[in-house]
């Protein structure tokens, strides 16, 4: 079996989960929610990776030393070609020789002499750029990748090492306490990343609990008939989320207001519709700051700006058609949403390929979801403008994009029944008069 065949049998990571899609009553939209929060999963992965690297630091740095601490390496050739090789050799020899000794190297010599920032300053003053370049080369391009590593203190590492030994610490432990190598640095960065992800998770949980409490309060105000107080609370929530850049909560609040505007027991549905429109339309202006993608009903990823535009357009069509909002304004928002959906659909399905097989970032069902939502907006735009919008805003164009992707998916044996089900659903929901002969056939 060649590499391409092996890759073809592998399940791409960071991809749509076909099993979850199969188990959903609507395989395209009604996805099951993931059970492991993203930040916790990331923290666990980083922590385990950090532990593994730290445990095997000596073995790892033995390997990196063979690659980096090498006179024939490309970086060494570059430095020799651009700086005085005789001076570089003289500097390197000085760095490896402990003062008052004619022998290079020796136990813990890097802590006592030549490898800290104080030495770099002295070399720069005497040799200029050649001294600084050779110090950087010797310390960070070579010694950093060896098991003993390099001192991380700006100066005085030798004194600290001597003091630790005098306190009964073994020489090897004392050296490891005041020096760092590549594997230890990587391990430290991974531990930091794990901590940051746990911090983000904690912040998100606190914000979510606060939002849930506000939603409960809002629901009670509405049930008690205190509409003015409910409007005030929504405005306060909106301003708070905008100030704290909590885009997800603002989008959810807009969607909640839209749901309220469609309930039969709500006394002033138009006001709630206007609130949904105002919040969602404002989010569309944050295209560069808002997240590019957001989880949509579970396992698919769709355009954040596209969803905001969809809520805005729905609220406008249902409740907001008044003198203060022009059709031109909502038309512009709808076009922004269609464009965002199509861009997300195209980007999210590109993935990274090896030997012609996509192995990373391959999310075709997420792309289809984006195209479906783009189709809904395009149909709304056609009804609003009463003319063919043309180009990428044309429902026929979007339908062709969907069927092109469906045809691509149909080539995968395990997806064929699922793809046919999706294709049948599209033809039923979007019965547009497009000659089937012009569309890719699903076998």
Q: Which of 158-172, 295-309, 412-426 has the lowest mean pLDDT?
A: 412-426
φ/ψ of 151, rounded to 5, equals -70, 145
Q: Is 167 exposed, middle or buried (0-12, 13-18, 19+ CB in 10 A)?
A: exposed
Average pLDDT, the chain: 77
Of 17, 8, 52, give the one whose Cα is nearest residue 35.
Answer: 17
Q: Rounded CA gap, 151 and 178, in Å?
A: 6
pLDDT tens digits, one per residue of 12-48 = 445 565 555 554 444 343 333 334 455 666 777 777 7
What per-residue confidence (pLDDT) applies to 387?
55
Q: Are 175 and 161 in contact, with CB atoms under 8 Å apart? A: yes
pLDDT tens digits, one per residue of 196-232 = 888 888 877 888 888 888 888 988 998 888 889 999 9
Q: Is the pLDDT of residue 353 over 80?
A: no
Q: Rounded CA gap, 18 and 368, in Å?
A: 13
What per-residue confidence (pLDDT) applies to 194?
86
Is residue 329 classed as helix, strand or coil in its secondary structure?
helix
Q: Is the pLDDT of residue 281 over 80?
A: yes
Q: Rounded CA gap, 74 and 72, in Å?
A: 7
Q: Rounded CA gap, 124 and 132, in Å?
A: 5
Write out the two tokens for 228.
């003015």
Q: Is the pLDDT of residue 388 over 50?
A: yes
Q: Rounded CA gap, 309 and 337, in Å?
A: 5
Q: In angstroms, how far is CA 72 from the centroid of its own chain?
A: 38
Q: Are 8 and 352 in contact, with CB atoms under 8 Å apart? A: no
Between 318 and 213, the more confident residue is 213
HEC string of 150-178?
Answer: EECCCCCHHHHHHHHHHCCCCHHHHHHHC
Q: Are 184 and 57 in contact, with CB atoms under 8 Å apart? A: yes
What is the chain's alpha carbon radius of gyration, rounded to the nearest angstrom? 31
| Residue 414 CB neighbour total at 10 angstroms | 9
Q: Rounded CA gap, 175 and 418, in Å?
A: 60
What string of DSSP letters covers 227-281?
A: HHHHHHHHHHHHHHHHHTT-HHHHHHHHHHHHHHHT-TT-S-HHHHHHHHHHHHH
What per-residue confidence (pLDDT) applies to 11?
47
What string of DSSP letters covers 66-124?
A: HHHS-TTSHHHHHHHHHS-HHHHHHHHHHHHB-TT-SSB--TTHHHHSSSSHHHHHHHH
Between 386 and 237, the more confident residue is 237
Instruction: Give the whole-number percent of the chain exceeding pLDDT 70.
Output: 76
Q: In angstroms, how far is CA 404 from the centroid of its own chain?
A: 27
Q: Are 48 and 193 in contact, with CB atoms under 8 Å apart? A: no
Calculate mean pLDDT across residues 149-178: 87
Sorting pLDDT into bands at 50, 70 and 90, what band is 393?
confident
Q: Rounded CA gap, 190 and 49, in Å?
A: 7
């Amino acid at each position: 079996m060649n590499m391409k065949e092996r890759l073809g049998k592998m399940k791409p990571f960071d991809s749509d989960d076909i099993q979850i899609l199969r188990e959903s009553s609507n395989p395209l939209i009604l996805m099951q929610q993931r059970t492991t929060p993203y930040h916790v999963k990331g923290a666990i992965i980083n922590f385990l990776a950090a532990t593994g690297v730290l445990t095997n630091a000596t073995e790892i740095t033995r390997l990196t030393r063979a690659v980096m601490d090498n006179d024939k390496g490309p970086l060494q050739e570059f430095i020799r070609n651009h700086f005085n090789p005789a001076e570089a050799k003289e500097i390197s020899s000085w760095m490896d020789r402990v003062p008052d000794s004619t022998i290079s190297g020796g136990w813990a010599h890097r802590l006592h002499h030549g490898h800290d920032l104080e030495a770099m300053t002295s070399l720069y003053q005497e040799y200029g750029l050649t001294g600084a370049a050779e110090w950087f080369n010797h310390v960070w391009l070579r010694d950093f990748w060896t098991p003993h590593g390099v001192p991380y203190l700006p100066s005085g590492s030798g004194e600290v090492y001597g003091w630790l030994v005098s306190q009964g610490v073994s020489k090897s432990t004392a050296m490891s306490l005041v020096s760092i190598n590549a594997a230890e640095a990587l391990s430290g960065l991974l531990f930091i990343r794990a901590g940051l992800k746990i911090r983000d998770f904690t912040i998100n949980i606190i914000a979510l609990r606060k939002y849930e409490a506000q939603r409960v309060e809002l629901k009670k105000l509405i049930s008690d008939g205190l509409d003015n107080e409910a409007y005030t609370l929504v405005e306060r929530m909106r301003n708070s989320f905008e100030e704290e850049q909590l885009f997800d909560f603002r989008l959810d609040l807009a969607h909640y207001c839209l749901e309220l505007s469609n309930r039969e027991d709500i006394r002033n549905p138009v006001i709630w519709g206007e609130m949904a429109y105002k919040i969602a339309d404002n989010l569309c202006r944050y295209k560069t700051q808002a997240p590019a993608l957001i989880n949509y009903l579970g396992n698919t990823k769709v355009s954040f700006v596209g969803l905001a535009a969809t809520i805005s357009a729905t609220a406008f069509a249902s409740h907001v058609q008044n003198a203060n909002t022009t059709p031109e304004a909502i038309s512009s928002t709808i076009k922004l949403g269609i464009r965002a959906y199509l861009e997300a659909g195209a980007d999210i399905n590109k993935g990274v390929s090896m030997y012609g097989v996509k192995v990373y970032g391959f999310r075709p069902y997420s792309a289809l979801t984006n195209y479906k939502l783009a189709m809904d907006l395009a149909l709304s735009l056609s009804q609003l403008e009463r003319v063919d919008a043309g180009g990428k805003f044309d429902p026929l164009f979007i339908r062709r994009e969907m069927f092109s992707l469906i045809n691509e998916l149909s080539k995968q044996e395990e997806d064929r029944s699922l793809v046919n089900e999706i294709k049948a659903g599209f033809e039923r929901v979007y019965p547009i008069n497009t000659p089937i002969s012009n569309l890719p056939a699903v076998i």
